[in-house]
Amino acid sequence: MAQYNVLLVDDEKEVCQIIIKKLDWEGMGFHIVGYAHNGVEALEMAEELQPDVVMTDIKMPYMDGLTLSRKLKEAYQKIKIIIFSGFDEFEYAKEAIKIEATEYILKPVNEKELREVFERIKTDLDRELDERRNVDKLRQYYLESLPVLQENFYIALLEGRLTQEQIEEGMRNYQIQWGKAAYIVTVLHISRTTLPEQMDSSLAAISVKRLAEEQLQKNWDSRIFVYLGDVILITAIADEKNAGAGYTDALDKFCKLAKRACGITVTAGIGYMCGAMEELSVSYESARHAVSYRVLYGSGRAINIAETDPYKEKEDGWEESESIKKIIREIRLGDREKLEQAVTEGVKHLVQNSSSIMKYRIFVMTFITEAFRFCRSKINMEKIFEKQQDIYGHAMQIESPEELKSWLLEVTGRMQDMAYSERDDTEKSFVEKAVEYVHEHYGEQNLSVETICRNLGVSTAYFSTLFKKDTGKTFINYLTDCRMEKAEELLLEQDEKTYIVAEKVGYSDPNYFSYVFKKKFGVSPSRYKMSKREQM
């Protein structure tokens, strides 16, 4: 049986103790995880304890139950709220309905009524849990989401973000049946300057996509989707030798049909044919390059990069480029063993397939260019290429594959270490900036995690995870500790009155300040100040 967490909130401790004794909570499927004295304390505890049910009184100091309930509903949509109060007034009941409280009951709490309330809530929670776990419903939701998941997978392939293992896993998970000899990426580029009246580029892309699905999918095994304003085809080819010219002709006919049927000028850029799905990013880049040739050959036609650009044949370096992209990808992913494997495979491929010094030079220059692009302004390139004033000259003097491999392992290892350090520093900088902001603005009464995140430009979920990981405290706990340290300093060193100290450290209610101070130091502010003076 599922166990659900309950948080009780009442400024009278005895009330909560009575409620705890009224029911066999564990037997009913509930667990009392905590007890808060007021709404402010309950919000802090809810962040830490993540209760399923909150049972709260209405009239409490510092923050009443209705305000607490609104804030809980804003933060935790699925949470169940039970409001109990001795105030039998219709206005309270109306307000409880507005904030979607699950139940509203009156004090004194009747045991039978309380049991019935929690039995109803247990039924609701069980139903919601079953819905989340229901395999048939999950499968139905999965199937409904499958086209979007598949499209995201194809985009990740184009961007070169997936390893071989991730590709195989993605094909299984997203039910993609491909086992052909080769693949081609085609970019259907839509001319924005010649669109029909009252048609924007988004509508044009959808129109071209639908036409491609109607005209091309019946003869070619293609996955068709919109990406960055273009329509993309990833086409699986069964017969690599005989498909090239026929595929180009089919795309050329499609471009003419798009102009005739839709009034849209489409240029089809056909990339290099590749033998593995992890090489699709290179095919995509070459397809984009093919589209750029419309300046020379005209738009509204198919342009095959293998036919158009004799100086960039597949054998003359695109495989080497893919090897380098694999190396850069492993640097980014942070696995040293896989990085070493990628470097080893890249050098082996270069040695086995290079028949000229020019190919070697292209490989080295491409690697250095990609390394600079990867590092950009975030990583100091002088530290990456230590003591190498002329990086290209140094690389060109390497005399053996073993020396090349050693140089690449040394350089890429430093890149990986510094990239990891940069990510770590970025995370720490968020926390450091937040801590600095707290120490500068602790006196502001509306200071919150939302304020900090707006200032930093990050989400509260991401920030909260980083903050607790680095400081060991939730943001609210850290802010409270900071305010109490400042309050202690003001009380002892500047001999300020309690209400002035409260205001200076961000509390509008001196009584609540005293409550928090006593919770931290064990005594009230005035007693604390008195005891410290006596010790002097």
Task: Please determine, for residue 7, whether its predicted confidence score (pLDDT) is greater than 90.
Answer: yes
> How many structural domains does the chain have?
4
Same domain, 354 and 247: no
CA atoms of 226 and 379, how far apart (whole Å): 34
Q: 155 in a domain, yes or no? A: yes
Lowest mean pLDDT among 40-44, 48-52, 281-285, 460-464: 460-464
- Torsion angle of alpha carbons 411, 416, 419, 420, nearest 10°? -150
The maximal CA–CA distance of the chain, rounded, in angstroms, is 97
User: Can you give the CATH number for the domain in which 231 is found?
Assistant: 3.30.70.270
Element (H, E) at 221: strand 221-227
What number of H helices and E strands is found in the chain? Answer: 25, 10
The predicted pLDDT at position 274 comes to 85
Residues 115 and 49 in one domain: yes
* Residue 460, domain extent: 442-535
Instruction: Give me the mean pLDDT over the 468-488 stretch.
Output: 88
Residue 428: pLDDT band by 50, 70, 90 thresholds? low
Amino acid making up residue 517: F
Quote the radius of gyration of the chain (alpha carbons, Å): 33
User: Has residue 433 been placed in a domain?
Assistant: no
Q: How far apart are CA 213 and CA 43, in angstroms?
A: 53
Cβ count within 10 A of residue 512: 17
Element (H, E) at 231: strand 230-237
Q: Clarify whether residues 77 and 45 are in a common domain.
A: yes
Question: Looking at the domain assignment, is residue 435 inside a domain?
Answer: no
How far is it, in rounded angstroms, from Cα 536 to Cα 518? 21
Q: How far is CA 113 from CA 15, 92, 109, 174, in A?
A: 16, 19, 7, 49
> Mean of the pLDDT values across residues 93-108?
73
Whether residue 459 is found in the same domain as residue 382: no
Give me the CATH number covering residue 522.
Answer: 1.10.10.60
| Stretch 366-373: mean pLDDT | 80
Same domain, 257 and 357: no
Domain assignment of residue 390, yes or no? yes
DSSP state of 484: H
Task: Say which amino acid occupies 281.
Answer: S
Compute CA distances 484 → 39, 47, 415, 442, 487, whole Å. Answer: 19, 20, 44, 10, 5
Encoded tokens for 208: 């071209």
What pLDDT, on the 0 to 100 scale, is given for residue 138?
66
| Together in a domain, 479 and 402 | no
Element at 370 (helix H, strand E)? helix 357-375
Helices (H), 100-134: 111-133
Average pLDDT over residues 189-216: 89
Whether 491 is covered by a domain: the verdict is yes
Instruction: Specify whether 169 is located in the same domain as 282.
Output: yes
What is the crossing angle of helices 65-75 and 39-49, to 10°? 30
Reported as a pLDDT band with limits 50, 70 and 90, residue 317 is: very low
Paired sense of beta strands 230-237 and 182-190, if any = antiparallel
Rounded CA-CA distance 382/300 in Å is: 47
Q: What value does the mean pLDDT take over residues 126-155?
A: 79
The rounded distance, in Å, linking the Cα atoms of 389 and 397 is 13
**According to the model, what pLDDT value does residue 471 have?**
84
Query: What DSSP state is assigned to residue 316?
Result: G
